[in-house]
Amino acid sequence: MARNIPSLVALRYFEAAGRNLSFKLAAEEMNVTQAAVSHQIRQLEAHLKVRLFRRLHQRVELTGEGDELLDATTEYFDRIAEVCGRITGQQEQNCIQLSVTPLLLSNWLLPNLEEFLGPVPMSDVVLRSSLLPPSEDEEAFDMKIFFSTGEIRQSSFTPLMKDALVPMCAPGLLNELPSRDIDSVITSLRLVHEFDHSWWAQWLENAGLEAEAAQQGMVVNDPTVLENAALLGKGLILGSTMFLAEHVISGRLVQPFANQISLPIHYYLFAKPAARSRRRLKQFSDWLINSAQAFQFQREQLLSGRDSELRVVVGA
């Protein structure tokens, strides 16, 4: 009985585009032009009489039909690759490519990664530092950890952990200030910004102050440099309550305002559709979620005694 199957070439191009969520990366993988990928996918959509992708600004998303077809084509091509590899005697490659924010990479992931690599010695993990949300223009990845200042309710994004940014500085900066109310502190101390002025501007607006006051100070592009700038007394930062808690508890940093206005930070895990069906990537995804939950609980326990343990300098 003849099977009603579309062009295998079109299916291969579709699978690569769906797995990467990028026509550009699919073209690079297939060693063809991006126009060729687009053409084959349009033909496939015409044959099936459905839309497989939603074309958005600088990225694409799978439709429900596209997601269903990707599961089938990925399984189909993975099975062929597995059989061909077994026939030729080649071992399966277990490389996992993860894109992650620098702060989480250095403070959470690297210190704990051996927990996963130990019981799964055949897996290699390639870590790429990135601040970008999932987009078509980024390099190839299997999974991505990214942040947002607002909650995202989307089934493909799994919440990992929550953080908050609050003003912090070295205690010596406050000693000579005539007043420690918010206005005086903000106008008297240099602000240290991470990447640009936007987060301080947002914090000032939340505090009922003019956002223009954020247009001063130095700008750094690395969370470690931001942390060191605060510790060295270079100015007032918006620091992570989760990752800088030890510095506040020890007194090396202080939070100068009693009324802690904060900026929420939400971290999410995104797995490309193809990654969801691969066993080792599923293992890694499960480990990331469990490890993040354990880390979040540990941080919450550390911060639970905030009123009695954290050295908060109350505004005069």
Collect all residues with Cβ–Cβ distance below 8 Å to 93 and sequence separation of at least 6.
Answer: none
pLDDT one digit per residue (tens) for the chain, 316 residues: 567 788 999 999 999 899 888 898 888 888 899 999 999 999 999 999 999 999 887 788 999 999 999 989 988 887 787 677 566 654 445 678 899 999 999 999 999 988 888 765 556 788 988 888 876 555 568 899 999 988 888 878 899 999 999 999 999 998 878 888 888 898 889 999 998 999 999 999 998 888 898 999 999 988 899 999 999 999 999 999 999 988 988 999 999 987 778 999 999 999 876 666 677 788 899 999 999 999 999 888 887 765 444 444 434 3
285 neighbors 269 (Cβ within 8 angstroms): yes
Can you tell me the distance from the alpha carbon of 315 to that of 184, in angstroms, rounded to the nearest whole number?
10
Collect all residues with Cβ–Cβ distance below 8 Å to 140 and sequence separation of at least 6.
Answer: 20, 25, 29, 97
Q: What spatial distance separates the first Cα and last Cα of the chain, rounded to whole Å?
A: 85
270 neighbors 62 (Cβ within 8 angstroms): no
Pick among 3.40.50.300, 3.40.30.10, 3.20.20.70, 1.10.10.10: CATH of 8-88:
1.10.10.10
244 neighbors 253 (Cβ within 8 angstroms): yes
Listed by start position, the domains of the chain span: 8-88, 95-161+266-301, 164-264
Q: Measured at the alpha carbon of residue 56, what is the angle toward residues 55 and 57, in degrees to the nearest 5?
A: 135
Can you tell me the distance from the alpha carbon of 54 to that of 66, in angstroms, rounded to the nearest whole number?
9
Can you tell me the distance from the alpha carbon of 263 to that of 259, in angstroms, rounded to the nearest whole number?
13
Collect all residues with Cβ–Cβ distance below 8 Å to 206 and sequence separation of at least 6.
Answer: 261, 263
For helices 8-20 and 64-88, angle between their N-to-C axes, nearest 10 degrees: 110
Provide the token pair at 100.
Answer: 């992650």
Q: Do domains 95-161+266-301 and 164-264 have the same CATH topology?
A: yes
Can you tell me the distance from the alpha carbon of 185 to that of 112, in angstroms, rounded to the nearest whole number?
38
Q: What CATH superfamily classification does 95-161+266-301 receive?
A: Periplasmic binding protein-like II (3.40.190.10)
> In which element (H, E) is residue 127 found?
strand 124-129
Strands annotated E in 149-302: 157-168, 192-194, 218-220, 237-240, 263-271
> In which element (H, E) is residue 302 found?
helix 279-303
Q: How big is the chain, counted in residues?
A: 316
- Is domain 164-264 classified as CATH 3.40.50.10860? no
> In which element (H, E) is residue 71 found?
helix 64-88
Can you tell me the distance from the alpha carbon of 41 to that of 53, in angstroms, rounded to the nearest whole number?
9
Is the pTM for the entire model greater than 0.95?
Answer: no
Neighbours of 62 (CB within 10 A): 22
> In which element (H, E) is residue 62 found?
strand 59-62
59 neighbors 138 (Cβ within 8 angstroms): no
